[in-house]
Amino acid sequence: MSNVSEIFGTLVFNDHVMKERLPSETYKTLEKTIKEGKPLDLEVANVVAHVMKEWAIENGATHYSHWFQPLSGITSEKHDSFLTPVGDGTAIMTFSGKELIQGEPDASSFPNGGLRATFEARGYTAWDPTSQAFIKDEVLCIPTAFCSYTGEALDKKTPLLRSMRAIDTQAQRVLKFFGEDGHQVIATVGSEQEYFLISEKDYARRQDLMMTGRTLFGAPPSKGQELDEHYFGAIRPTVNEFMKELDDDLWKLGVTAKTKHNEVAPAQHELAPIFTNANRAVDENLLTMEKMRLDASHYGLTCLQHEKPFEGINGSGKHNNWSLSYDNVNLLDPGDDPIDNLRFLVFLACVIEAVDEYQELLRMSVASAGNDHRLGADEAPPAIVSIFLGDELGAIVEALINGDEYHSAEAISMDLGVAVLPQFLKDNTDRNRTSPFAFTGNKFEFRMPGAAVNLSDCNMILNTAVAKSLKDFADACEGLEGAEFEKAAIAYVRQLLADHQRIIFNGNGYSEEWEKEAEARGLANNRNTAEALPCFVSQKSIDLFEEFGILSESEVRSRYEVKLEKYTKLLNIEARVMIRMARRTYLPAISKYMRDIAETITSVKEAIPSSNMDEHEKLLARLVKGSNAVATRIRTLIEEHDAAEAITDHQQQAYAYADKVIPAMDALRAEVDALECIVENDYWPVPTYNDILFYN
Ligand code: ADP
Ligand code: MG
For the chain, domains (ranges, CATH) are 4-153 (3.10.20.70), 163-410+431-551 (3.30.590.10), 567-693 (1.20.120.1560)
- Whether 326 is in the pocket of ligand 1, judged by its Cβ within 6 Å, is no
> What's the whole-number mean pLDDT along residues 77-83?
89
Residue 1 has pLDDT above 80, yes or no: no
Residue 288 CA to ligand 2 centre (angstroms): 17
* Cα 211–chain centre separation: 20
> What's the whole-number mean pLDDT along residues 362-378?
92
Ligand nearest to the backbone CA of 256? 1
Ligand 1 atom closest to residue 273's alpha carbon, by position in its atom list: 14
Candidate from 189, 192, 271, 442 with most ligand 1 atoms within 8 A of CB, to mutate = 192
Residue 261 CA to ligand 2 centre (angstroms): 12
The helix, strand and coil proportions of the chain, stated in percent and rounded to the nearest 5, come to 50, 15, 35
What single string gives the DSSP state of each residue in 435-467? -SEEE-SSSEEE---BTT--THHHHHHHHHHHH
Average pLDDT of every residue of the chain: 91
Instruction: Kindly state the helix (H) or strand (E) to which residue 146 belongs, with its residue range.
Output: strand 139-148
CA dihedral 112, 113, 116, 118 (to 10 degrees): 80
For residue 412, the model assigns a pLDDT of 46
For residue 4, the model assigns a pLDDT of 87
Instruction: Quickly count: other Cβ atoms within 10 Å of residue 592's Cβ.
Output: 13
- Whether 274 is in the pocket of ligand 1, judged by its Cβ within 6 Å, is yes
What single string gives the DSSP state of each residue in 301-360? EEEE--S-SSTTS---BEEEEEEEEETTEETT---S-GGG-HHHHHHHHHHHHHHHHTHH
Closest-CA residue, ligand 1 atom 2, reads: 192
For residue 121, the model assigns a pLDDT of 62
Whether the predicted model's global pTM rises above the 0.85 cut: yes
- Whether 275 is in the pocket of ligand 1, judged by its Cβ within 6 Å, is yes
| Residue % of the chain over a pLDDT of 70 | 93
pLDDT 10s digits, 193-214: 999 999 999 999 999 999 999 9
- Whether 192 is in the pocket of ligand 1, judged by its Cβ within 6 Å, is yes
Closest-CA residue, ligand 1 atom 14, reads: 190
The span from the CA of 99 to the CA of 63, in Å, is 12
Contacts of 428 (CB under 8 A, 6+ apart): 390, 391, 392, 393, 409, 411, 412, 441
Lowest mean pLDDT among 20-29, 254-263, 481-490, 653-662: 254-263
- Whether 446 is in the pocket of ligand 1, judged by its Cβ within 6 Å, is no
403 vs 478, residue with greater confidence: 478
> What's the whole-number mean pLDDT along residues 130-156?
90
**Bridge partners (DSSP) listed for residue 413:** 425
- Whether 136 is in the pocket of ligand 1, judged by its Cβ within 6 Å, is no
Residue 320 CA to ligand 2 centre (angstroms): 8
pLDDT 10s digits, 595-614: 999 999 999 999 999 999 99
**Bridge partners (DSSP) listed for residue 502:** none
- Whether 190 is in the pocket of ligand 1, judged by its Cβ within 6 Å, is yes
CA distance from start to end of the chain: 23
Ligand 1 atom closest to residue 325's alpha carbon, by position in its atom list: 23
Burial of 648 (0-12, 13-18, 19+ CB in 10 A): exposed
Lowest mean pLDDT among 18-22, 415-419, 500-504, 559-563: 415-419
Residue 424 binned pLDDT confidence (cut-offs 50, 70, 90):
very low
The span from the CA of 507 to the CA of 394, in Å, is 11
Ligand 1 atom closest to residue 256's alpha carbon, by position in its atom list: 16
Phi and psi of 443, rounded to 5°? -165, 165
pLDDT 10s digits, 534-557: 999 999 999 999 999 999 999 999
> What's the whole-number mean pLDDT along residues 220-226?
77
> What's the whole-number mean pLDDT along residues 80-91?
92
| Residue % of the chain over a pLDDT of 90 | 75
> CA–CA distance from 596 to each of 426, 590, 679 (Å)?
64, 10, 11
> What's the whole-number mean pLDDT along residues 394-402?
88
Residue 545 CA to ligand 2 centre (angstroms): 29
Residue 525 CA to ligand 2 centre (angstroms): 23
Burial of 565 (0-12, 13-18, 19+ CB in 10 A): middle
Ligand nearest to the backbone CA of 191? 1
Can you state the angle between helices 157-177 and 278-297, rounded to 10 degrees?
140
- Whether 193 is in the pocket of ligand 1, judged by its Cβ within 6 Å, is no
Residue 81 CA to ligand 2 centre (angstroms): 41
What single string gives the DSSP state of each residue in 516-531? HHHHHHT-----SHHH
Residue 384 CA to ligand 2 centre (angstroms): 18
Phi and psi of 329, rounded to 5°? -95, 120
Q: What is the largest CA-CA distance in the chain?
A: 103
Residue 26 CA to ligand 1 centre (angstroms): 35
Residue 271 CA to ligand 2 centre (angstroms): 10
378 vs 610, residue with greater confidence: 610
Total number of residues shown for the chain: 696
Ligand nearest to the backbone CA of 270? 1
The closest alpha carbon to 526, from 320, 318, 312, 361, belongs to 361
The closest alpha carbon to 445, from 190, 231, 257, belongs to 190
pLDDT 10s digits, 453-472: 999 999 999 999 999 999 99
Instruction: Quickly count: other Cβ atoms within 10 Å of residue 47's Cβ.
Output: 18
Instruction: Quickly count: other Cβ atoms within 10 Å of residue 16's Cβ.
Output: 11
Residue 355 CA to ligand 1 centre (angstroms): 19
Residue 227 CA to ligand 2 centre (angstroms): 22
Let me know: does 267 contact 236? Beta carbons within 8 Å: no
Ligand 1 atom closest to residue 333's alpha carbon, by position in its atom list: 23
CB environment 449-488: b (16+ within 10 A), e (fewer): bbbbbbbbbbbbbbbbbbbbbbbbbbeebeeeeeeeeeee
Contacts of 97 (CB under 8 A, 6+ apart): 42, 43, 44, 45, 46, 47, 48, 49
For residue 104, the model assigns a pLDDT of 81
666 vs 418, residue with greater confidence: 666
Closest-CA residue, ligand 1 atom 5, reads: 272
* Cα 579–chain centre separation: 29
Residue 192 CA to ligand 2 centre (angstroms): 6
The span from the CA of 266 to the CA of 224, in Å, is 7
What single string gives the DSSP state of each residue in 66-131? EEB-BTTSS-B--EEESEEE-SSS-EEE---HHHHHEE--B-TTS--TTSS-TTS-BEEEEE-TTS
pLDDT 10s digits, 163-204: 999 999 999 999 999 999 889 999 999 999 999 999 999 999
The span from the CA of 128 to the CA of 101, in Å, is 8
- Whether 318 is in the pocket of ligand 1, judged by its Cβ within 6 Å, is no
Ligand nearest to the backbone CA of 319? 2
The span from the CA of 481 to the CA of 39, in Å, is 35
Ligand nearest to the backbone CA of 272? 1
Residue 225 has pLDDT above 90, yes or no: no
Residue 445 CA to ligand 2 centre (angstroms): 7
Residue 24 has pLDDT above 90, yes or no: yes
- Whether 272 is in the pocket of ligand 1, judged by its Cβ within 6 Å, is yes
Residue 312 CA to ligand 2 centre (angstroms): 21
Ligand 1 atom closest to residue 189's alpha carbon, by position in its atom list: 25
Candidate from 443, 448, 455, 463 with most ligand 1 atoms within 8 A of CB, to mutate = 443
The span from the CA of 482 to the CA of 480, in Å, is 7
Ligand 1 atom closest to residue 323's alpha carbon, by position in its atom list: 24
Ligand nearest to the backbone CA of 284? 1
- Whether 330 is in the pocket of ligand 1, judged by its Cβ within 6 Å, is yes
Ligand 1 atom closest to residue 272's alpha carbon, by position in its atom list: 14
Candidate from 275, 284, 446, 448 with most ligand 1 atoms within 8 A of CB, to mutate = 275
Residue 103 binned pLDDT confidence (cut-offs 50, 70, 90):
confident
Residue 437 CA to ligand 1 centre (angstroms): 13
Ligand 1 atom closest to residue 330's alpha carbon, by position in its atom list: 23
Can you state the angle between helices 539-547 and 456-477, rounded to 10 degrees?
70
Residue 325 binned pLDDT confidence (cut-offs 50, 70, 90):
very high
Phi and psi of 145, rounded to 5°? -90, 155
Residue 5 has pLDDT above 70, yes or no: yes
Ligand nearest to the backbone CA of 444? 1
401 vs 656, residue with greater confidence: 656
